[in-house]
Amino acid sequence: MAMRKREDEVFPNAAGIDVGASSHWVAVSRHATDDPVREFGAMTDDLNALADWLIACGVDAVALESTGVYWIPVYEVLEQRGLKVWLVDARQMKYVPGRKSDVQDCQWLQRLMSLGLLRAAWRPDGEVCVVRAVARQREVLLTEQASWVQRIQKALVQMNLQLTEVLTDVMGMTGQAIIRAIVAGERDAKVLARHRHSRVKASAEEVTRALTGNWREEHLFVLGQALAMYDHIARHLAECETKLQALLGKLGQCQIDLGKVPRAGSKVRAEFDVRQVMANWAGVDLTRINGLGATAVLKILSEIGPDLSRFANVKHFCSWLGLCPGTKISGGKVLASGTKRSANRARQALKMAAMSLSHSDSALGAFYRRLCTRMDKPRANTAVAHKLARMVYFMLTRGEAFVDQGQQHYEEQQRQRSIAALKRRATALGFQVNPIEVAT
């Protein structure tokens, strides 16, 4: 890469840090000090010394390259000291030509940062990061709790207790009452069947038959341990939701009237009104969008927050989510148009929401099914998730409310478009289209 003059540099006082697990290599401009490359440890006093040295060298912008979460302590310390910190993707560096073999990573990072050839990863505001950490912990606990439910079911099957054949939810009211009675020492199938709730479709006789099994000691021991772990995680989940409620209660700037809008049921029940709290925080009710329940909205807002001003427009937002088609074009020919791989949690929530629309009577559901007729379901799912992302963006940035036009309105709209296209095609070929009136 041809060397540029110092006055052409975008960030002449930039620094580059190659973050590691036990030490960090730091490089500043060679004009700032006689020793522009140093190694610092990973302890807190080392990070403070690193910040002091950068400030002494006149650094005002820092680029970090890291894997895992090693960058977070460095980022937070430098940000608290008033430095402009960018977390950059290491893949950006390898596409820039001109790197010499004797240049360390931190020096090359500093050089690219000074020339303005790097882009910063998006990191939400501090208050959103706090909510995000608690929401992610809640998600981890839910996943862990689900794994213990599977272990409970496995222990029941090993004892030939076929609860899954008579109950839709083993950990529902009836299921938990029966399992806790078994762990407490009850073995009589008829006595256990008395815990059957009146709304259970299976009869008492069917439940009794399902609870007739073998009571092997080792399986009972495993069942008791799994139930104890389930309860232990449930207590931590309650603590997470209490913390979330306290955090989100402080962030809510307005009181949104949600009205009485029925939402789809969910097995994951929070201890507080997630939908109301999320609406107060965002200023709009995102659950009005078909497919987005309270849990999905919690996941999306905890990842991105309600302020999307960092994104120039909706295209930038959808691109960051990894929901835009690729633009690999050469010689005017599209070589690849697939979306990039991404572990973005907001993207995952939107794709799950899109999947739930496959049987919906809404306009979005009709749009999903129309796409499935001309492409495979994964691509249709991504396209619908992209549409949902655009709706989320416009609601958060413009304060617009979502109004579902319904499946019939959407299908009639598509019909009129098809008729108009047919007429244009017929006119181009020298024909005329005349509708046929069907006698009723």
**Tens digits of pLDDT across the chain (440 residues):** 445 555 567 899 999 999 999 999 999 999 889 999 999 999 999 999 999 999 999 999 999 998 889 999 999 999 999 999 999 987 776 666 666 554 688 999 999 999 988 888 888 888 999 999 999 999 999 999 999 999 999 999 999 999 999 999 999 999 999 999 999 999 999 999 999 999 999 999 999 999 999 999 999 999 999 999 999 999 999 999 999 999 988 887 677 777 665 455 455 555 568 888 888 898 889 998 989 999 999 999 999 999 999 899 999 999 999 998 877 777 777 777 778 888 889 999 999 999 999 888 888 888 889 899 888 999 999 999 999 999 999 999 988 777 777 767 777 777 888 888 888 888 888 888 888 876 65
Which of 229, 231, 237, 234 has the alpha carbon at shortest distance from 151?
229
Q: DSSP 3-state assignment of 387?
A: helix
Residue 1 belongs to some domain of the structure: no
Which of 16, 62, 18, 59 has the alpha carbon at shortest distance from 42?
18
Amino acid 97: pLDDT? 64
Domain CATH for 244: 1.10.287
Domain match, 246 and 149 both: yes
Domain match, 69 and 143 both: no
Amino acid 4: pLDDT? 52
Domain match, 297 and 232 both: no
**Rounded CA separation 257/401 (Å):** 12
What global pTM score does this model have? 0.81
Domain match, 151 and 85 both: no
Domain match, 237 and 214 both: yes
Domain CATH for 100: 3.30.420.40
Strand 328-330 relative to strand 84-87: parallel, antiparallel, unpaired?
A: unpaired
Domain match, 170 and 247 both: yes
Which of 324, 330, 376 has the alpha carbon at shortest distance from 350?
324
Amino acid 1: pLDDT? 47
Q: Considering its fold, how many domains does the chain have in total?
A: 3
Q: Is 123 exposed, middle or buried (0-12, 13-18, 19+ CB in 10 A)?
A: middle
**Domain that includes residue 359, residue range:** 274-329+336-398
Dihedrals phi, psi of 61, to nearest 5 degrees: -140, 135
Residue 10 belongs to some domain of the structure: yes
Residue 422 belongs to some domain of the structure: no
Q: Is 222 exposed, middle or buried (0-12, 13-18, 19+ CB in 10 A)?
A: middle
Listed residues 114, 146, 174: the one ending a domain: 114
The residue assigned the tokens 């540099």 is 9
Listed residues 84, 114, 144: the one ending a domain: 114
Listed residues 218, 251, 284: the one ending a domain: 251
Domain match, 38 and 107 both: yes
Residue 123 belongs to some domain of the structure: no
Residue 120 belongs to some domain of the structure: no
Amino acid 98: pLDDT? 63
Residue 436 belongs to some domain of the structure: no
Domain match, 143 and 95 both: no
Residue 152 belongs to some domain of the structure: yes
Domain match, 107 and 145 both: no
Orientation angle between helical segments 294-304 and 274-282, nearest 10 degrees: 40
Residue 247 belongs to some domain of the structure: yes
Structure tokens at 7: 């006055």
